[in-house]
Amino acid sequence: MFLLRRTLPILTALFLAEGPAATRGFAATEGDAAFEAGIRASRAGRHEEALRQFQRARAAGLDRAALHYNLGVTYYRLGRYAEARASFRRVAEHETLGALVHYNLGLLALRLEEREQARRQFLIAHRLAKDEKLRRLAAVQLSRLSRVAGAEPRHSATIAAGAGYDDNLVVEDIGGAARGGDSFFELFLAGSATVHGTPRDGIKLHGSAYLVEYVDQNAFSMTILRGGAAQVTTWGGWRAEAGGDLELSTLGNRDYLRTLTASVAGKRAIAPTATFELRYRFSDIDARDSLFSQLNGYQHRLSVDAMHSRTDGWLSGRAFTEYNDREDLHGAGIFTSFSPVRMGLRAEYGRRLAADWEVSASLALTLSSYRDADVLEGGVEQRRKDQQLRVGLGLARNLGERWQVGAEYQYYDNDSNIAAFAYRRNVYALRVIGIF
């Protein structure tokens, strides 16, 4: 690694694979003299002495961007990566050094095997760099990371735990609301493993478990267990997947549904930072308890997803259509349809803030039209139509590359032409998420 004197030298000489580069300023005051002494010590490979001199310069009141930058370099060389990152971040918005700082933050993230963080930093460096050589270096690093990303892990796992409050409990498949709220706890576990071939061209097994437990209204507590297999193939720029899974659920103290699903999907990049996915799913649904036999039947669902990732955030969208043919509910002079045809749109915008914070907002609209007219009390027939608006807000903080803590708010407004199915709902939750 090389040091700067007054101006940036030729950039090809500035970056070595083993770590960041340093910069230098003018000597005049006591702080400047200590800064110059730190530069000389660093050139001689005496990094502990360099650190003492840079710290002495800071104590003397020197608050120059070059000082914080060189402190970052020195901490890096001494293996003190957290302090190196903190020093670099102090000058990450510097007009001249910003691109260089983000490049070095990328190198530091690589050393810590934080590949997604490294990718973000190199993207920022590439965007900010005014020097073509620096842009090329950032592009090379991004290309290397893309090739590494091709060697995906054979195993992955996710764990999430949370607690919150729901002010109007609803079972979406059945409809209707409890007209009351309750606190809840939830736990989610998921994992996948490639058991044959490679993650990009092979067979994988996947499974998940979800539990939500309400404190007082246990009838709304639910567990969902799911497991299955899929064949993954990479072909013509598409990532194709075909497979099936079995889902078993409980509601309150009762068995709820058994769902067999077969699905096919194709995903491909439509730009360096954008992806597109098309998915079709067919589900055969059986009630595990006669109390829910009205839900027996099948479901077709077709969805289109798009994701655009930026250095400072992301934008995603989904459109779907769904067709249901269920057994419905027949009674003495009463009929209730549980076979909706649905169409929906959803959009989410997320933005990364300073340090490791990020915020997100989502908006979804779902239109449902039920296939047969309900027969209400008194023999009145009315075909049910719902319009559901859903708004979400989130705030999260990343704790390293694997953990995240966050708060989420969801608002539901389900407008129905049959009053019994109309409701409004507010859900508040705090969660901890780990990805491995």
pLDDT of residue 153: 75
Mean pLDDT highest for which of 6-10, 126-130, 305-309, 426-430?
A: 426-430
Segment 214-253, tens digit of pLDDT: 999 999 999 999 999 999 998 877 889 999 999 999 999 9
- Looking at per-residue pLDDT, the higher value among 334 and 186 belongs to 186
- The full 3-state SS of the chain, as one line of letters, equals CCCCECECCCHHHCCECCECCCCCCCCCCHHHHHHHHHHHHHHCCCHHHHHHHHHHHHHCCCCCHHHHHHHHHHHHHCCCHHHHHHHHHCCCCCCCCHHHHHHHHHHHHHHCCCHHHHHHHHHHHHHHCCCHHHHHHHHHHHHHHHHHHHCCCCEEEEEEEEEEEECCCECCCCCCECCCCEEEEEEEEEEEEEEEEECCEEEEEEEEEEEEEECCCHHHCEEEEEEEEEEEEEECCEEEEEEEEEEEEEECCEEEEEEEEEEEEEEEEEECCEEEEEEEEEEEEEECCHHHHHHCEEEEEEEEEEEEEECCEEEEEEEEEEEEEECCEEECCEEECCCEEEEEEEEEEEEECCCCEEEEEEEEEEEEEECCCEECHHHCEECCEEEEEEEEEEEEEEECCCEEEEEEEEEEEEEECCHHHCEEEEEEEEEEEEEC
Report yes or no on whether pTM surpasses 0.85: no
Segment 142-196, tens digit of pLDDT: 877 765 544 567 889 999 999 999 999 988 888 765 668 999 999 999 999 999 9
Residue 55 has pLDDT above 60, yes or no: yes
pLDDT classification of 141: cutoffs 50, 70, 90 = confident
